[in-house]
A and B are shown apart, each in its own frame.
Chain A
Amino acid sequence: MRLSKRAKPREVVTQSTLDNAFDRRTFVIGTAMGGLGVLLAARMGYIAIAENEKYELESESNRVNLSLIPPRRGWILDRNGAPLASNRADFRVDIIPDRTPDTEATIAALTKILSLDENHAADIRKHIDDGPGYQPVEIASGITYDEFAAVSVRLPDLPGVVPQRGFSRFYPTGPSVGHLIGYVGTANAEEYAEQDRNPLLVTPGYKIGKDALEMQFEQELRGVPGARRVEVTAAGRIVRDLETREDVQGDPVRLTIDGPLQDYAARRIGLESGSVVVMDCDTGDLLCMASMPSFDPNSFSQGIGRVEYAMLRDDERVPLRNKVLKGLYPPGSTVKPMHCMAFLDAGIKPDEAIMCGGGRRIGNRFFNCWSNHGRVDMAKAIYQSCDSYFYHFAQQIGFAKVAEWAHKMGLGEEFPLPVVSQFFGTVPSPEWKQRRHESEWQPYDTVNSSIGQGYYLTSPLQLAVMSARMATGYKVMPRLHLTGEKPRFEHFDFSPEEIGYVRQAMSDVVNGPGTAGRARLPFDDIKMAGKTGTAQVVSLSVSNGKTGPWKYRDHGLFVFFAPFDKPKYAGAVVIEHGGGSGAAYPIARDVMTFAFDPVKGMEALRPLEEQWGGTAQQRLSSKYRAYAAAQGETVPPAPTRDEDIFDQVEAEARLAARQPEKIAEQSTPSRVDDRTPEEISRSSAATVARAGADGNTE
């Protein structure tokens, strides 16, 4: 280009050179413009045509919001098909902290709309602070449609708030099944990570099984989530529904548990801390695994409150532990019939007798019996629970032989049950002591162990299994998951006469000259056999085991089966610090009474519950309210139930099934407590005082 050349010494510029330059440069500019135009057209073609698929996808993923519909959880049914755990349709509101810029203001607004109390709001704030921000935190569930609508219309001002119609887990009998069934809750960060960050787990309203059967059967109960495709604006407002795939409800899990019996047993434990296990002798079906005091799984599943959890945690009766599986107690005299079977196996004849004399010399020491029984044969040793007899014969056949039978009968064993954990306890033996304590087995070890003391530790479940195996002579295996087939069990090598002898001796404990006369069933034709047991907790120098501070009292135990001559049910009752077996066998009696005749059973329970201050559920809720009142917090009354199906597993349901006309006359007291906190604190204080005086006088 001429102008850009260095013309010397100075360029000569004329009108025509300028005009030429203008034309040239205009051409350059025009070319540049055209070039850019082509470039832009090409770029647009590239984006719109070559990359069209990619951007179309992105546009769709902008426009369409896929939200999962949490699947309805499968029901947990009792052996008769009544729900122990079911779902209740409700309206709920959640908040996703990550999508809420000002949680404080949002919670304040929600508190006003839903009229939540300060206690509840504090719980929500704590959950928000503790949890990972992407996870929804429940604001309220079980709200009315009006409240639900009120939140829904204010959504534009409440970012991160998710109102929805969903289902919440419902346990009709509450605390009666707390330990057995467990509870559900929102997945925590670890569970989310464990399950490959399954988006279902952080879907608002979705809960997974957190404990016990709810956790064990998680995969069966879960179901398949549905999906809802909605068109949303950039701000997240839903414009319209595109399509919805319904969820598939999880499979029901059918248990061997008998719902009404479970409820009855749990309630019959009353103010005590303990457990009741009942098995079917023919099939090994666990009909009842009650452990009290318990928690209300309904509270846990709704996200338990701070105050309520503190109450459970601080209770010395450990309502958070399943005592059936994880309570370990010295079995005491309850193992004596089983030891007798070991003696029979070793060739001891039932009529071989010893002289008690208030105790017996073993080796070079004299060991006391609890009484002077005179001449004692095997039957008397069982129904009178004579210690001397067991000192003698255990020493004679050697405790290794006895321990072997203890294992065969289920003690020190774990069972193939769908439970989160079970403790297997201890059956002492010379080999065990050498291994565990690296010391020699001594005669006094035999003496202690022969009467179920010393190192012996068993769980109520094991005692129940032992009872069933003794009663039948078969190696009955407990089971919890009901399946169609009838299991077959291995038979122990006992003659029918030997089994009949032990059965009769155990029947005499209750129906004869035995230690548990008041355990007799109120029927002429059905007799219960059993064996009492008392387990010392501290040495006699600290407490006599009957009175004094609760935690120093003896455990009361009772194993039983009925009818004694043709066993159908077998079980065990263990009452912690009950002050002796007298606390245990009345419970076994009433539970068995209920099993054979629900009307009679309820007649026994009603006056007791009146005296205790209501059903287990009522007492738990009033206790919570009293506790909260003491902490200066108020708690709203529990919501009422309106669906009849949930009543099928209550103890009263059996009455209705058996004697419809009779139940009509009796007014079943409501399970729901609607008293004010003041009334509760007054009446529960009175109840506790009364219970302390006469609760255990059975």
Chain B
Amino acid sequence: MSGIVPAPIARQPWQMLFPLIVLIGFGALVLFSAAAGSWTPYASSHIVRFAVFLVMAFVLARFTRELAMFLAFPIYAIVLVMLVAVEAIGFVGGGSQRWLDLGFMQLQPSELMKPAIVLVLARFYSTLPIGMIPTWRALVPAAGLILTPVALVLLQPDLGTSLAILFGGAVVMFAAGLPMRWFLGAALTGAVLAPVAFFFGLQPYQQKRVFTFLDPESDPLGDGYHITQSKIAIGSGGFSGKGFNEGSQSHLHYLPEPHTDFIFATMAEEWGFVGGLVVIGAFAIIFAWGLSVARGSADRFGKLIALGMTATVFFYVAINLMMVMGLAPVVGIPLPFMSHGGSSMLTNMICIGSLMMVHRWNRKAPRAGLIR
């Protein structure tokens, strides 16, 4: 930690920031191509947003543990209120009520709920007396904290985001040491209830998406179109791709949403398997760092936040990549750090900021055998 690099810079988590900047830069290049070789409207705003949110993440990283503990419940409450407000006054956009018009920007409160649920659950379990972990008192309040926003988001309806919230919450509960049999039981119940939920809980368009996912070739020009075209884009890229700005699938508009949900396909067409490995590898490094931050944390609060935030970003990446490769149904989830879009960038940078925050706590109070 000595040398020509000043200490405040040197102590930043470069093993995470470097792949993150690679992803952002790579994303900007792909967006440049997706706009038919233009910095506007996607690529430049992508970079500007990242810069703004990176500053926000650094600010977030300065928060102390006590402040984070103190703010956990209020933040959760505020986001919950916003979710209710979305139901009440949110306007209809894209077939569901998701956005809250704040005047200066359009906010999607369900996005904010993803880090908020991690924060509040970490707060809850970190203060829950250890002895109560295997009892119902560890489960019921947490379940309430998770299911309330999930229910609100489902009402919008937004299946993808509600699953993301559920996933983030479940991972925190899992890491908090709740009895394994509960999870097994929940998994079993889920398996039994899934068909029921599918036929009675999902909207017809969602059901259709699932059917299409199971057999995309059944309707290649209709609902299977997205998956089919995405696979064509990835498949035709081959090992090293068609070359920068040479992707016919995206440039000729065969690929739907080439700058948001299907940006990975846009990238893979032009950069090939090599580009895909770079993206997957960069994410792997970031997640590995996130897990190491979690393991390196000295207290439960930090551990749970770090793991939960990592899991939240991972959920985005995993679902998006599975979707574009035809392993999951089409759900409107963008690829973090590459897709164009403010709300998802905000959420993901909050997660990164939180991880940096825990990372900073760790450096101040490293986990050591004797010190608690």
Name A's B-contacting residues (CB within 8 A). Answer: 1, 3-4, 6, 10-11, 13-15, 17-18, 21-23, 25-26, 29-30, 33-34, 36-37, 40-41, 43-45, 47-49, 51-52, 54-56, 58-60, 62-63, 231-235, 239
Determine if B254 and A62 form an interchain contact, defined as CB atoms under 8 angstroms apart: yes
Give Cα A14–Cα B131 distance, bound, in whole angstroms: 7
Determine if A13 and B235 form an interchain contact, defined as CB atoms under 8 angstroms apart: no
Give Cα A1–Cα B233 distance, bound, in whole angstroms: 44
Chain A residue nearest to B225 (CB atoms) is A234
Q: Are A55 and B231 also in contact (CB < 8 A) when A4-B184, A26-B291, A33-B314 are?
A: yes
Name B's A-contacting residues (CB within 8 A). Answer: 130-131, 133-134, 171, 174-177, 179-181, 184, 229, 231-239, 248-249, 252-254, 268-269, 272-273, 276-277, 280, 283-284, 287-288, 291, 294-295, 300, 303, 307, 311, 314, 318, 321-322, 325-327
Give Cα A569–Cα B294 distance, bound, in whole angstroms: 110
Q: Are A45 and B273 also in contact (CB < 8 A) when A40-B322, A62-B254 are?
A: yes
Determine if B232 and A25 form an interchain contact, defined as CB atoms under 8 angstroms apart: no
Determine if B175 and A26 form an interchain contact, defined as CB atoms under 8 angstroms apart: yes
Q: Which residues of A contact B248 (CB under 8 A)?
A: 59, 62-63, 231
Q: Are A29 and B171 also in contact (CB < 8 A) when A40-B325, A62-B252 are?
A: yes
Determine if B295 and A26 form an interchain contact, defined as CB atoms under 8 angstroms apart: yes
Q: Which residues of B contact A48 (CB under 8 A)?
A: 234-235, 237-239, 268, 272-273, 276
Q: Which residues of B contact A14 (CB under 8 A)?
A: 130
Selected from A17, A30, A52, the residue in CB contact (under 8 A) with B235 is A52
Q: Are A18 and B177 also in contact (CB < 8 A) when A40-B321, A44-B325, A48-B268 are?
A: yes
20 pairs, CB–CB < 8 Å, chain A vs chain B: A18-B176, A21-B177, A22-B300, A29-B171, A30-B288, A33-B287, A37-B283, A40-B325, A43-B325, A44-B234, A44-B280, A44-B325, A47-B231, A47-B234, A48-B238, A56-B236, A59-B232, A59-B236, A62-B229, A233-B253
Give Cα A204–Cα B266 distance, bound, in whole angstroms: 35
Q: Are A234 and B254 also in contact (CB < 8 A) when A1-B180, A34-B284, A49-B273 are?
A: yes
Q: Which residues of A contact B322 (CB under 8 A)?
A: 40
- Which secondary structure dominates chain A's binding surface? helix
Q: Are A37 and B284 also in contact (CB < 8 A) when A21-B177, A48-B237, A52-B236 are?
A: yes
Q: Are A56 and B130 also in contact (CB < 8 A) when A4-B179, A22-B175 are?
A: no
Q: Which residues of B contact A59 (CB under 8 A)?
A: 232-233, 235-236, 248-249, 269
Determine if A55 and B235 form an interchain contact, defined as CB atoms under 8 angstroms apart: yes
Q: Are A37 and B280 also in contact (CB < 8 A) when A29-B174, A56-B238, A59-B236 are?
A: yes
Determine if B174 and A25 form an interchain contact, defined as CB atoms under 8 angstroms apart: yes
CB distance from A440 to the nearest CB of B (A): 74
Give Cα A15–Cα B176 distance, bound, in whole angstroms: 11
Chain A residue nearest to B180 (CB atoms) is A4
| Closest 3 A/B residue pairs (Cβ) | A55-B235, A4-B180, A59-B236
Determine if A13 and B177 form an interchain contact, defined as CB atoms under 8 angstroms apart: yes
Give Cα A21–Cα B176 distance, bound, in whole angstroms: 8
CB distance from A61 to the nearest CB of B (A): 9
Chain B residue nearest to A20 (CB atoms) is B177
Determine if A18 and B249 form an interchain contact, defined as CB atoms under 8 angstroms apart: no
Determine if A29 and B307 form an interchain contact, defined as CB atoms under 8 angstroms apart: yes
Q: A11-B179, A40-B318 are in contact. List 16 more A-B contacts (CB 8 A).
A: A3-B179, A4-B179, A13-B177, A18-B300, A22-B303, A30-B287, A33-B284, A33-B291, A37-B284, A40-B280, A44-B280, A56-B236, A59-B236, A233-B253, A234-B252, A234-B254
Q: Which residues of A contact B234 (CB under 8 A)?
A: 44, 47-48, 55
Give Cα A26–Cα B172 distance, bound, in whole angstroms: 10
Q: Which of B179, B239, B288 has the most CB of A within 10 A?
A: B179
CB distance from A284 to the nearest CB of B (A): 59
Give Cα A47–Cα B238 distance, bound, in whole angstroms: 8
Selected from A3, A232, A233, A234, the residue in CB contact (under 8 A) with B177 is A3
CB distance from A536 to the nearest CB of B (A): 68
CB distance from A25 to the nearest CB of B (A): 5
Give Cα A3–Cα B138 distance, bound, in whole angstroms: 15
Q: Which residues of B contact A10 (CB under 8 A)?
A: 134
Determine if B253 and A234 form an interchain contact, defined as CB atoms under 8 angstroms apart: yes
Determine if A55 and B268 form an interchain contact, defined as CB atoms under 8 angstroms apart: no
CB distance from B132 to the nearest CB of A (A): 8
Determine if A13 and B325 form an interchain contact, defined as CB atoms under 8 angstroms apart: no
Give Cα A62–Cα B225 distance, bound, in whole angstroms: 12
CB distance from B230 to the nearest CB of A (A): 10
Determine if A41 and B175 form an interchain contact, defined as CB atoms under 8 angstroms apart: no
Give Cα A58–Cα B280 distance, bound, in whole angstroms: 26
CB distance from B124 to the nearest CB of A (A): 14
Give Cα A45–Cα B280 distance, bound, in whole angstroms: 12
Q: Which of A25, A36, A37, A48 has the most CB of B within 10 A?
A: A48
Q: Which residues of A contact B231 (CB under 8 A)?
A: 47, 55
Q: Are A29 and B311 also in contact (CB < 8 A) when A56-B236, A59-B232, A232-B252 are?
A: yes
CB distance from A26 to the nearest CB of B (A): 6
Selected from B131, B175, B236, B273, the residue in CB contact (under 8 A) with A58 is B236
Give Cα A63–Cα B314 distance, bound, in whole angstroms: 34
Selected from A6, A15, A63, the residue in CB contact (under 8 A) with B130 is A15
Q: Which residues of B contact A63 (CB under 8 A)?
A: 248-249, 252, 254
Determine if B253 and A235 form an interchain contact, defined as CB atoms under 8 angstroms apart: yes
Give Cα A33–Cα B174 distance, bound, in whole angstroms: 15
Chain B residue nearest to A34 (CB atoms) is B284
Chain A residue nearest to B306 (CB atoms) is A26
Q: Which residues of A contact B232 (CB under 8 A)?
A: 55, 58-59, 62
Give Cα A239–Cα B253 distance, bound, in whole angstroms: 12
Give Cα A47–Cα B276 distance, bound, in whole angstroms: 12
Give Cα A18–Cα B138 distance, bound, in whole angstroms: 14
Q: Which residues of B contact A239 (CB under 8 A)?
A: 252
Chain A residue nearest to B253 (CB atoms) is A234
CB distance from B33 to the nearest CB of A (A): 16
Q: Are A36 and B318 also in contact (CB < 8 A) when A13-B131, A49-B238 are?
A: yes
Determine if B252 and A231 form an interchain contact, defined as CB atoms under 8 angstroms apart: yes
Q: Which residues of B contact A55 (CB under 8 A)?
A: 231-232, 234-236
CB distance from A250 to the nearest CB of B (A): 35
Give Cα A461–Cα B212 distance, bound, in whole angstroms: 67
